[in-house]
Amino acid sequence: MTTQPQPPAAGPGPDPGLFTWEFAADPYPAYAWLREHAPVYRTRLPSGVEAWLVTRYADARQALADQRLSKNPVHHDEPAHAKGRTGIPGERKAELMTHLLNIDPPDHTRLRRLVSKAFTPRRVAEFAPRVQELTDRLIDGFAGRGRADLIHDFAFPLPIYAICDMLGVPREDQDDFRDWAAMMIRHGRGPRGGVARSVKKMRGYLADLIHRKRQALPVTPDPGEDLISGLIRAFDHGEHLTENEAAAMAFILLFAGFETTVNLIGNGTYALLTHPAQRARLQASLARHERDLLATGVEELLRYDGPVELATWRFATRPVTIGGQHIAPGDPVLVVLAAADRDPERFADPDALDLSRRDNQHLGYGHGIHYCLGAPLARLEGQTALATLLTRLPDLRLAADPADLRWRGGLIMRGLRTLPVEFTPQPDTGH
């Protein structure tokens, strides 16, 4: 490893200041330092793996679109000391891991085209009343209490029920999904046993559901058909989707669409509650039934403190140069979306939250061929959740000192463990 300047804050480990508790609470000063002094920085991750962190916007965009950087973990030149415990998904080549985020063209092109046919913007738009109903029902659950933990009571259940509905998981099974997903989030970096069991249960359930839906599939497509049925139909029409790929697809939709949206609602609400002037502007515009500030505002919240801190793993398949730094084949590359989205070379006054920001091509949903497939659904959920919260609970306020809030200490995602709030109790709307 070449000698490099070190980030300023002191802390344990080979990279002082990175991956500590303080860093998890506010990683932005360390990212600002990296962007300026070591924009493509080789670091040792807590798992022991060495990887390159890319922090400047221009480099990040280039890396996300560079097809010499593979998504397939077979290209990882895994060091012997880290074997089997790197936390790189798909490393163990589990069946559910052959999904969009772990594959390259031509398989990626084929699978993405196929799922895009089932996951259309029209289908998402038709889903808006259901997302509104879910949102209201969840708020009804705590509105009379005057206090809530917005992660547990709201941000967490909303996306899992929404994506289950969209996939076509029957209502009576959705609580099982919620519990498996909870286990995967809560213990994602903890005890392996619980996660493995949850993944196994989810895999068994999805295989069985796909089988049952195939038996019951009507000959002519129903316009309101669920996503899993749409995938099976494509499979039955010879589009070369194996049953395992269908299960992996359902799994990645659940997985990619879950913790991300929890964090959009959690981080977004937190940012609004700690920026009273911006929040007041949004509330006033919602009271006038305007949607413009809500739309630009949710994009700004994604840029300012987005759910995906680092894009998922990439591995160099050939020698690549990023930001003047040579990267050898087999090396992992992690694009730090949270750092790129605060780059002053790209965004004016990047550390300020400005809900009406216009020139805002942020990387919160990624870029290139792996650009978030679920972005329209995420926008729908984020906008509905924030608008309904602020309208129904107009005096919503934090019930904790921001310094006491704990952030999940994961590598890829950024989100709060809890978000205690209080407000004047509201009557039930009967949803």
Q: Does 364 interact with ligand HEM (rule: CB under 6 A)?
A: yes
Query: By CB under 6 A, is residue 9 in contact with ligand HEM?
Result: no
Quick check: 169 binds ligand HEM (CB under 6 A)? no
Tokens 């316009």 correspond to: 223
State the Cα–Cα distance between residues 36 and 179, nearest whole angstrom.
42
Residue 132 tokens, joined: 């509104």
The answer to the question of residue 365 lying near ligand HEM (CB under 6 A) is: yes
Examine residue 151 and tell whether it contacts ligand HEM (CB under 6 A). Answer: no
Tell me how far, at minimum, the Cβ of 387 lies from ligand HEM, in Å: 15
Query: Which C-beta is closer to ligand HEM: that of 143 or that of 294?
Result: 294
Q: By CB under 6 A, tell whether 118 contacts ligand HEM.
A: no
String marking each residue 259-298 x if it binds ligand HEM according to CB under 6 A: -xx--x----------------------------------
Q: Is position 45 an interface residue for ligand HEM (rule: CB under 6 A)?
A: no
Q: Which stretch binds ligand HEM (CB under 6 A): 37-45, 183-191, 253-261, 270-278?
A: 253-261
* Single-letter residue type at 91: E
Nearest to ligand HEM of 273, 340 (CB atom)? 340
Q: Which of 53, 54, 97, 101 binds ligand HEM (CB under 6 A)?
A: 101
Q: Does position 370 bind ligand HEM by CB under 6 A?
A: yes
Residue 416 engages ligand HEM in binding (rule: CB under 6 A): no
Judged by CB, which is closer to ligand HEM: 253, or 327?
253
CB of 159 to ligand HEM, least distance (A): 7
Q: Per rule CB under 6 A, is residue 90 in the interface with ligand HEM?
A: no
Indicate whether 357 belongs to the interface with ligand HEM (CB under 6 A). Answer: no
Establish if 96 lies at the interface with ligand HEM (CB under 6 A).
no
Instruction: For the CB of residue 105, give the shortest distance to ligand HEM in the complex, in Å.
Output: 10
Nearest distance, CB of residue 287 and ligand HEM, angstroms: 25
Count of residues interacting with ligand HEM (CB under 6 A): 28
Q: Which range of residues in 150-158, 216-224, 235-243, 302-310 is near ligand HEM by CB under 6 A?
A: 302-310
SS3 track for the chain: CCCCCCCCCCCCCCCCCCCCHHHHHCCHHHHHHHHHHCCEEEEECCCCCEEEEECCHHHHHHHHHCCCEECCHHHCCCCHHHCCCCCCCCCCCCHHHCCHHHCCCCHHHHHHHHHHHHCCHHHHHHCHHHHHHHHHHHHHHHHCCCEEEHHHHHHCHHHHHHHHHHHCCCHHHHHHHHHHHHHHHHCCCCCHHHHHHHHHHHHHHHHHHHHHHHHHCCCCCCCCCCHHHHHHHHHHCCCCCCHHHHHHHHHHHHHHCCHHHHHHHHHHHHHHHCCHHHHHHHHHHHHCCCCHHHHHHHHHHHHHHCCECCCCCEEECCCEEECCEEECCCCEEEECHHHHCCCCCCCCCCCCCCCCCCCCCCCCCCCHHHCCCCHHHHHHHHHHHHHHHHHHCCCCEECCCHHHCCECCCCCECCECCCEEECCCCCCCCC
CB of 419 to ligand HEM, least distance (A): 16
Please answer whether residues 80 and 110 qualify as being in contact, where contact means their C-beta atoms are separated by less than 8 angstroms: no
Q: Should residue 124 be labelled a site residue for ligand HEM when binding is judged by CB under 6 A?
A: no
The reply to whether 306 sits near ligand HEM by the rule CB under 6 A is yes
Cβ nearer to ligand HEM, comparing 114 with 273: 114
Our finding on whether 398 is near ligand HEM (CB under 6 A) is no
Residue nearest to ligand HEM (CB): 374
Alpha-carbon span 185 to 202, nearest angstrom: 14
Phi, psi at 43, each rounded to 5°:
-135, 160
Asked if residue 202 lies in contact with residue 262, where contact means CB atoms within 8 angstroms, the answer is: no
Figure out which of the listed residues 196, 295, 372, 399 binds ligand HEM, where binding follows CB under 6 A.
372
Interface with ligand HEM, residue 134, by CB under 6 A: no
Binding region for ligand HEM (CB under 6 A): 64, 100-101, 112, 163, 252-253, 256-257, 260-261, 264, 302, 306-308, 311-312, 364-366, 370, 372-374, 377-378, 382
